[in-house]
Amino acid sequence: MLWMYTTEGRKDFSQKDIQIEEKELDFICDMGCNFIRLPIDYRFFVQDFNYGNSNEKMLEVLDFCIESIISRGLHCSLNVHRAPGYCINGAETERHNLWKDKEAQDEFVRLWKDFAIRYSNYNENQLSFDLLNEPPNINQYGMTRETHKSIMERVISAIKSVDSKRAIIIDGLGGGNLAMPEMAKSGVIHSTRGYQPMALTHYEASWCEDTKGLEAPIYPGTNWDKKTWTRETLVEHYKPWKDVEKQGVKVHVGECGCYNKVDNTLALNWFKDLFSVYSELDWGFALWNFKGDFGIVSHNRKNTRWESIKGFSVDRDLYELMKATIK
């Protein structure tokens, strides 16, 4: 749910500006789903790089968002999508570099420790902490596996010092795609992504430099990253994650989905394979997002069988596929 995903374009930081459609949560519950990922932008709480101080009024808005999810029996995974010094989208707008600068690292730790204190009344089955959305590629922005491990373990320690039972999630490196065997003993859940092949899922996505100018994809059979993508390729892609899982790590797919520039018949062929792989692996997954260009509602892909369900324009075939998968 993208209620507090970004401050960009916001005119007013207030609960009035954060529009929560509670009927969306009711729809999700009725589908049989049990998990909501809530990505947030730290700038809602810390304005103008005024580290060490959080806007209490906006924290109260976050309280309301979390309670709206948890009160329905859904698990809420609170995720920092933009952190002090890093975001996968527009990291250059930050004053500091999370991977190099102590100021950003200290603030990152403070935010999560404060969240641990603030939400200690929720148990681990109700609320988890997803520390940072999609760290960069190795050596991008100065991040290495060693620096990532050091920073994440520092945050994990800070949270556990307050709440030893809190469920904690770390996203894979390289935008969520690279497994982290070096973090296998950290006692946290590892989160991967379901966007491969990017030539299909991000076809004509304006923000994705890697997929610009590509030919229209097919599936199965699209060529991407020196591979021809089929169900077998998807299985092979997740093998490093399966290897980490064998060390006792829980694995979750924090995001998956397909942008709306491809034909929906093509997207559904891919979704069927993707969800069947997740069922085989026994991994949970979250669709980015509920309503919008990647969503189950109003994505506007061509050749979609639309149906009005409880006031929403729903991709009926994707809806049925998801329901069958989560059962």
Residue linked to tokens 């589908």: 31
* For residue 220, cis peptide bond before it (omega within 30 degrees of 0): yes
What would the DSSP string read from start to end of 155-208?
HHHHHHHH-TT-EEEEEPHHHHTB--GGGTTSS-EEEEEE--SHHHHTTT-TT-
Residue 12 pLDDT > 70, yes or no? no
Q: Which amino acid is at 325?
A: T
Confidence band (pLDDT; 50, 70, 90) for 18?
A: confident
Q: How many residues does the chain have?
A: 327
Q: What is the pTM of this model?
A: 0.96
Interacting residues of 5 by C-beta distance below 8 A, sequence separation 6+: 39, 40, 41, 81
Q: Give CA–CA dist 36/287, Å, rounded.
A: 9
Q: How does pLDDT run across 132-152, given as a tens digit for each residue?
A: 999 999 999 999 999 999 999
Q: How many Cα atoms sit within 13 Å of 135 on the Cβ side?
A: 29
Q: Quick one: which H or E segment has residue 266?
A: helix 264-281
Residue linked to tokens 């991000």: 202
Q: How does pLDDT run across 164-187, given as a tens digit for each residue?
A: 999 999 999 999 999 999 999 999
| For range 214-224, the mean pLDDT | 96
Q: List 169's β-bridge partners, or say none.
A: 130, 189
pLDDT at position 19 is 80
